[in-house]
Structure 1
Amino acid sequence: MTDPDDTHDCETCGASVAAADARRSEPFGDLDPDTWQTLNCPHCGDRLATVLVDDE
């Protein structure tokens, strides 16, 4: 079961997307891409959230 804190709802297509299933891209602005990533909906490509990246 997916942790609800690790799930994002897409405002464009209505999909509920687990962070592990989201497409990742570099963040907007001058945020450090080694520290931050943008999560995008795998269905429509809309931005879901910008998240802090841990030492994975």
Structure 2
Amino acid sequence: MDGKFSGSTPSKLQLTEGAHVILVEQTGYAVWQRTVTISPGNDININAVLTKTPGTQ
């Protein structure tokens, strides 16, 4: 989260209002990254689906 390790998935995080970069990575898979904007009083759910990197098992 925003360039810092925030734990393993699944996770429930409390974020401050504003934009945040979410990055999920796993060996053998393409990196998944999104920028989300958090509004006061709103909850969001994110489902990061990773795609296998070609040539990995």
TM-score normalised according to structure 2 size = 0.25
Q: Which has the higher helix share?
A: 1
TM-score normalised according to structure 1 size = 0.25
Structure of higher CA gyration radius: 2
